[in-house]
Amino acid sequence: MALIICRDAAFAYENKIVVEGLNFQVGQKDYLCIVGENGSGKTTLMKGLLGLMRPKSGTIETGDGLKPTQIGYLPQQTSAQKDFPTSVYEVVISGRLSSRGILPFYSWRDHEAALENMEKLGILPLKKKSFKELSGGQQQRVLLARALCATKKVLLLDEPVSGLDPVVTAEFYHTIEALRRETGIAIIMISHDVRSGVEYATSILHLQNRQVFFGPADEYKESDVGRYFLRGGEFR
């Protein structure tokens, strides 16, 4: 069953079209990598998927009971986020805020979900540590656990390996792939790293202010646009 279906969607700022011609879908266990150069519309589409922007035309629909607020989101890290002075546990459980509704306190289910996702990502021993004292790789695992607390269906990751060294980057990609296979959760990753996209993802969505490719990663490698950008390794 499709979790997200995008039909002929276009997004605009102040009536100026930013990205258009969007037709794709994401189902359970899918791993979609969204690639494109800076300014190609990736961030705008991300806002649309999260329900923060409405399409100028066309539609983005959700299925299987999914709501935009139930998409687990891991944003790009800023220097302010890296120095956030709170405990690992507090960061992770904050992922349950959208499901808490009007309740003033976290429920036992919220606490249980936080502990379960920390254990799943191997960071349970860090739960009392200050987030800002962790390494970059550990911080990304904490933020990933936070995103998992918000969803059991879809994870949206925005440049999740930016600033990480090659070893930690490889570990993170393996972690994401393991989560997808073990839990059935769908992954949507926005990335400049087209080589890793075709290595790990099941499908590729390539944007150049409009959709220029959507399909299996293997087909992307053989396409004109895929061959062109794969020769360069990464978008510049």
**Do the domain assignments include residue 47?**
no
- CB of 161 within 8 A of CB of 172? yes
d(CA 203, CA 53): 24
**Do the domain assignments include residue 38?**
no
- CB of 106 within 8 A of CB of 96? yes
Task: State the pLDDT at residue 32.
Answer: 97
**Do the domain assignments include residue 151?**
yes
Residue in this structure with the two tokens 């790789």, named with its chain if needed: 137
**Do the domain assignments include residue 113?**
yes
Task: State the pLDDT at residue 44.
Answer: 94
- CB of 25 within 8 A of CB of 5? yes
- CB of 51 within 8 A of CB of 68? yes
What's the angle, vertex CA 139, arms to CA 137 and CA 143, rounded to 5? 120
Residue 227 sits at φ, ψ, to 5 deg, of -60, -40
Total domains present in the chain: 1
Token readout for 31 is 């791993």
- CB of 60 within 8 A of CB of 48? yes
**Do the domain assignments include residue 94?**
yes
Sign of CA pseudo-dihedral 126, 127, 132, 137: positive
Question: Amino acid identity, residue 43?
Answer: T
- CB of 114 within 8 A of CB of 130? no
Token readout for 125 is 């021993």
Task: State the pLDDT at residue 102.
Answer: 60
Task: State the pLDDT at residue 105.
Answer: 82
Structural domain containing residue 178 = 67-183
Compute, in degrees rounded to 10, the torsion defined by CA atoms 99, 102, 103, 108: -10
d(CA 231, CA 67): 38
- CB of 206 within 8 A of CB of 174? no
What's the angle, vertex CA 230, arms to CA 174 and CA 156, rounded to 5? 40
Q: What is the DSSP string of 57-74?
A: EEEEEE-TT--GGGEEEE
Per-residue pLDDT tens listing for the chain (236 residues): 799 999 999 999 988 999 999 999 999 999 999 999 888 999 999 999 999 999 999 999 999 888 877 899 998 876 556 666 789 999 999 999 877 666 678 889 999 999 999 999 999 999 999 999 999 899 999 999 999 999 989 999 998 888 888 898 899 999 999 999 988 999 999 988 888 888 889 999 999 999 999 999 999 999 999 998 888 645 54
**Do the domain assignments include residue 219?**
no
State the CATH number of the domain containing residue 131. 3.40.50.300
**Do the domain assignments include residue 52?**
no
**Do the domain assignments include residue 60?**
no
Number of neighbouring beta carbons within 10 Å of residue 126: 20
